[in-house]
Structure 1
């Protein structure tokens, strides 16, 4: 009998865990694997029930079904708005009785606040009381569906900067912006008309030579500081580009854009633009677009290591930070900006511009290229910024480490704790701030300095919000079920009044997560069977048409 073969390494495959199989089946059926238990209380009957609400996360690494559902919804939004042939109609709804009632109460409270501010009290209450009442009423007005805020009370004057353009940036002709949003119609041979649109890609400038894997050829000369600041202020540059583009072409340009990192870890922009703009005009606008950051200088490190500013409740009206040795109060954020405004020779902390590379493609409606580019636009929305390109080599990991270390002490906003490192109190300071430990989104390693939104959509892109697109999908499914005569489980009652609250995992009416996932999988499978039967069952109108034919 031959002896069994010996292997150099021991390999053993363990059976799958029950929880892992359950989550995989939930993913296969498109069921959220992190459902949030919410308790819904009926205000008419007093009865309550626990409803499992999808977590709604946008990252596939956290919840693949929810992330994929969000991505598909964005793809629908992109497709419906890219090649619109008619202007979207957006109107404001008339205020209802509840909104009018809240606004009348707001007017009474405002009058009482003004009287208290002048006389000291109103109806026996000080001005602080009426200030709190105004804040509560503003919250109720917003919850009732009113958008926007009221300009009341004393407001601090807005800090105004010089609008004079930089001498190193070309000037752009400024035209009146028409309200038109749809693209031009072109006529081809045989009288055929077509309305093309545009797909644009913009990148940032070079910070040094890089290899094909995105790592710098010479890390010591690679400009990590400029790369970090460009990433921090990239969203402002995009806003300025859209503003300049609209002023230059003379109409209300509509766009659907996504921000993704390149292999060198710098953000770049993919933008679907409705209508056509010539490449020459795009180059002019890109060359003339810049964003200046008028913040205090960070050239000199004032405090580092264990020598850091300390909080003093007696510094300023609400406390502030002082020098640990002398006790001198650090300049406030407003004081630092005032000093910049008084200095005629002051220079901005940073100026961010786009690079020279511009990729513009013409796209026809409902073409294979259009569908491909929509998939390309939404491909990485289910991944975090740092997840788009996995570091596979030591050079890539070192490059990411250097970028993260540079971003650690770079101020990300006026409220960033890193301003203490440079001898300035951040805006609205509070105790416990430590340079290098700012909790801002841009400082997190998974965001690579970009703290803005991943998806940028103009207001008149499709004439609908993301919630409207979601409601359209639900209405379509309910309509198909109604046409097939299939009853809907738990139909919504338009006259019901509910209050929602978060149900804790230890509440007696909240089932274990495994049991809830099993029920959700069964519910989703049943809904899918009903919808498949509804879409395959011909409606009475279609049946009559076929019989007549």
Structure 2
């Protein structure tokens, strides 16, 4: 136990521990700190910051403390859980990309499975209040080309093609979309920060997911079938978000270009060009926000929309002229490489994607760090939605306003330095991509491991070990889970126990796979039974 805990991750220098007290020799765990346990866990692919829960078995009366993985998707927070989440997304992407049969069902009951694009909204003319429509221009912009609308076949899989040699194949596509330029950049940082359009860059980042939704709507109307996709929103080096998407089936390049050029998003918000309250802040009178000096009520969200110009949107977002499209055939190395590239930055925050890590020898570029700070400062006071507290800065009460709102302190993720405008999901998956929810993909991975262990005659981990759904004889839950706060030594003990258990399962699974290979090879050598 002591030698295991004293090992360190390769990225840091070895740690030296001197034992001077004989009491420490009797209790080696006293030498292990929480930081050391987390380092060992990270090197072994085990969660190093688990949630500790107390589990009472009502049948036996035993009381157990259990370590539950934190489930973080950020490598900086938990490398093991982030890597596990990325592997799950890789599996989800691979299973749906080159399907040759239609999914059995849509999985729109899973919040992680759908992205809401299938709603097919005709226009962003909703006022933000459910069920209401506001009179404003619905004409297509004169600076955007028209798109034809073709009959849509009731299919999600791509067409099958036959080569001159008689080989059948079903190609798909890998698409990358970007946002326009906001100023010249070098190594990710603006050459002239004073002329760089930070406001437009920030607003485009905030509404980027909605712009992507509009792209899929337009593409489905001209592609001739129900396009399905697995997409990841990632930052470019200049910190503008861009989209990588695996698309099932093939669409002509000229059609993709036409849709990119014709796609735009009009944001129908009240005007917010000049702030009204900079050094002052509105007061809450118990029902509404009012001016701190005159006591005059600020216009509500609906009143501000009534005063807005119905022909002029507050912001218009478009894609940049550059895009990339490649045909992909699976199984192939190109398909595997594209999936890895698609999920490359899912474990990193937007700000950390290109910033040097603690393990890099190069110092951070001051110009690039200043670029991150400047974009973050711009996002701090821009509205991220109808309910954003930053509307108070512009003299408008947010939708459903309540007490305690302060401009510059909105709780939306879009304002955080880690997100830099992207407050929604980083992974966007259409509802009929694989026909499975993310939970079902996770269960599939566990089933593969269980079947391999059982085929080799090994004891597989219990599926419902301490599950809350297991009932006792009286019909009530057998296992009762409660929160607990263990001391430092108990916490380290549980982390090390989780490491040991993971190592045991990993060794058993590897042995099971080797045994299966031996069986297959033996069968191949001896031929079929008589």
Does TM, normalized by the shorter one, top 0.5? yes
The answer to whether structure 1 residue 62 and structure 2 residue 63 are counterparts is no
Once the two structures are superposed, residues 369-390 of structure 1 have per-residue CA deviations (whole angstroms, 9 ceiling, x without a partner) of: 1111111111111111111111
1:45 deviation in Å?
6.7
Q: 1:231 to 1:491 in 2, by over 3 A?
A: closer
For residues 539 and 379 of structure 1, what CA distance do their matches in structure 2 show?
A: 31
Within 5 Å, which residues of 2 pair with 1:278-317? 278-305=252-279, 307-313=280-286
Once the two structures are superposed, residues 51-99 of structure 1 have per-residue CA deviations (whole angstroms, 9 ceiling, x without a partner) of: 2211010011111110001111111111111111111111799xxxxxx
1:159 deviation in Å?
2.7
- What secondary structure is seen at the aligned counterpart in 2 of 1:386? coil
Corresponding residue to 1:434 among 378, 393, 406: 406
Contact kept? 2:156, 2:248, Cα under 8 Å: yes
Corresponding position of 2:300:
332
For residues 179 and 440 of structure 1, what CA distance do their matches in structure 2 show?
A: 38
- What secondary structure is seen at the aligned counterpart in 2 of 1:526? helix
Corresponding position of 2:53:
38
Which is helix-richer, 1 or 2? 1
For residues 382 and 210 of structure 1, what CA distance do their matches in structure 2 show?
A: 25
Corresponding position of 2:425:
453
Within 5 Å, which residues of 2 pair with 1:115-264? 157-160=131-134, 162-211=137-186, 213-264=187-238
Once the two structures are superposed, residues 399-424 of structure 1 have per-residue CA deviations (whole angstroms, 9 ceiling, x without a partner) of: 22221111111111111111111110
Contact kept? 1:414, 1:427, Cα under 8 Å: yes
- What secondary structure is seen at the aligned counterpart in 1 of 2:212? helix
The answer to whether structure 1 residue 424 and structure 2 residue 399 are counterparts is no
Corresponding position of 1:73:
88
Corresponding residue to 1:412 among 368, 384, 400: 384
Corresponding residue to 2:355 among 390, 394, 401: 390
Q: 1:282 to 1:91 in 2, by over 3 A?
A: closer
- What secondary structure is seen at the aligned counterpart in 1 of 2:344? helix
Of structures 1 and 2, the larger Rg is shown by 1
For residues 489 and 548 of structure 1, what CA distance do their matches in structure 2 show?
A: 34
Once the two structures are superposed, residues 469-501 of structure 1 have per-residue CA deviations (whole angstroms, 9 ceiling, x without a partner) of: 110111111111111221235453798234664
Corresponding residue to 1:399 among 371, 392, 399: 371
Corresponding position of 1:531:
509
Contact kept? 2:267, 2:315, Cα under 8 Å: yes
When the two chains are superposed, the root-mean-square deviation of aligned CA atoms in Å is 2.7
The answer to whether structure 1 residue 52 and structure 2 residue 64 are counterparts is no
For residues 356 and 203 of structure 1, what CA distance do their matches in structure 2 show?
A: 8
Corresponding position of 1:352:
317
**TM-score, structure 1 length as denominator?**
0.80
Corresponding position of 1:113:
none
Corresponding position of 1:114:
none
Once the two structures are superposed, residues 429-472 of structure 1 have per-residue CA deviations (whole angstroms, 9 ceiling, x without a partner) of: 12222212222101111111111211111111111111111101
The answer to whether structure 1 residue 323 and structure 2 residue 291 are counterparts is yes
The answer to whether structure 1 residue 504 and structure 2 residue 490 are counterparts is no
Once the two structures are superposed, residues 332-357 of structure 1 have per-residue CA deviations (whole angstroms, 9 ceiling, x without a partner) of: 112212333xx54x411100000000
Q: 1:232 to 1:491 in 2, by over 3 A?
A: closer
For residues 484 and 14 of structure 1, what CA distance do their matches in structure 2 show?
A: 40
Long gaps (5+) in structure 1: 1-11, 94-140, 143-147, 149-154, 314-318
1:167 deviation in Å?
1.6
- What secondary structure is seen at the aligned counterpart in 2 of 1:405? helix
Long gaps (5+) in structure 2: 1-12, 18-30, 111-115, 117-128, 357-363, 472-476
